[in-house]
Structure 1
Amino acid sequence: MPMKTTHEKFVHELADLYDAEHQFLQGQHHMHAQARDPKLKAMIHEHIAESKQQIKNLEQVFDALGEKHKRQPCDGARGILSEGRKAMEEAVEPALRDTVRDHRQRCQG
């Protein structure tokens, strides 16, 4: 969609971030369900709470601007999550998968 004003560009970027946070939140829920290490599960749980807060913060910005809470597909977030899924598929040992999850979690933070 062509943008003509800085406001339109800002809302577009906001919607992109909103989508990214939703994608990351979904990925974190998946990682949490698959993680075996209690420390890793706790770290992911904490990050889930942070992502939920980021989503609320973005919604407050939408509200302040009088805009709907809308998501603009974020290809960057999709790519990060895709790379994480590939790394998980390549790791066959449970301990190695937890290591990959830990690394992916830190990359998203």
Structure 2
Amino acid sequence: MKIENLEDLFNHTLEDIYYAENKLVKALPKMAKACDSSALAKAFMGHCEETKEHITRLDEVFKAMGRKSKATECPAIKGILEEGEELMSEIKDPDTRDAAMIAAGQAAEHYEITRYGTLVSWAKLLGHKDVATILEKTLKEEYGADDKLTKLAESRLNKEAA
């Protein structure tokens, strides 16, 4: 994709996050299955359901923009997910593995928060107020998912790993 202006960059970033969400919807059940903590597994599966809704919202955004939904490979989310898979397979202690998976999950959440925050700002600047409203819903949920992981880590999972 040739990026010549902010509108092009906005569209490219939409394709990027669409790719990321589709990868995450496949990765989250694997992460949940590898958890020792049932609370962590539940958090990952709950966010998997939210992620499916995020994909639906992105489909709405593409439609509102007069475009077909399209994913562009995102090296950043690929790297985050590859690192998470590596940690899941290498760490044998279940408590330590759960702590690592929280960290990997939060890395993905922080990436998504960055992308959605940027998209919301650009949508407003470009005059796509309806699109910004849709994206803001997802941004709020991404912050919520990150907060849940933080609370799980701080309440007991990191302590168990220590």
Matched residue type, 1:91: I
Q: Report the count of equivalent residues.
A: 109
- The 1:25/1:6 distance shift into structure 2, 3 A limit, reads same
Residue 54 of structure 2: aligned partner: 54
Aligned to 1:26: 26
Contact 2:25/2:52 (8 A) holds in 1: yes
Q: Give the Cα–Cα distance (whole angstroms) in 2 for the partners of residues 4 and 104 of structure 1.
A: 34
Residue 5 of structure 1 deviates from its aligned partner by 4.2
What secondary structure sits across from 1:10 in the alignment?
A: helix
- CA deviations 1:33-65 (Å, max 9, x no partner) are 222321111111121122112211211110001
- Verify the 8 A CA contact 2:29 2:48 in the aligned structure 1: yes
Flag structure 2 segments of 5+ consecutive residues without an equivalent. 110-162
Is residue 105 of structure 1 aligned with residue 105 of structure 2? yes
State the partner residue of 1:45. Answer: 45
Instruction: Out of 41-50 and 69-78, give the one that drifted further.
Output: 41-50
AA in 1 matched with 2:108: Q
Question: Compared with structure 1, are the counterparts of its residues 10 and 93 closer, same or farther at alpha carbon in structure 2 (3 Å cutoff)?
Answer: same
For structure 1, the 5+ residue unaligned runs are none
CA distance in 2, matches of 1:93, 1:36: 9
Alignment TM-score, normalising by the size of structure 1: 0.86
Query: With CA pairs under 8 Å and 6+ residues apart, which has the higher RCO, 1 or 2?
Result: 1
In 2, Cα distance between the equivalents of 1:5 and 1:105?
A: 32
CA distance in 1, matches of 2:11, 2:29: 27
> How well do the aligned residues superpose, as a CA RMSD in angstroms?
1.6
Distance in 2 of aligned mates of 1:45 and 1:101: 13
8 Å CA contact retained: 2:2, 2:8 = no
Cα deviation code 1:46-105 (max 9, x no counterpart): 211221122112111100011011000011100111111222232012332222222222
TM-score when normalising by structure 2: 0.61
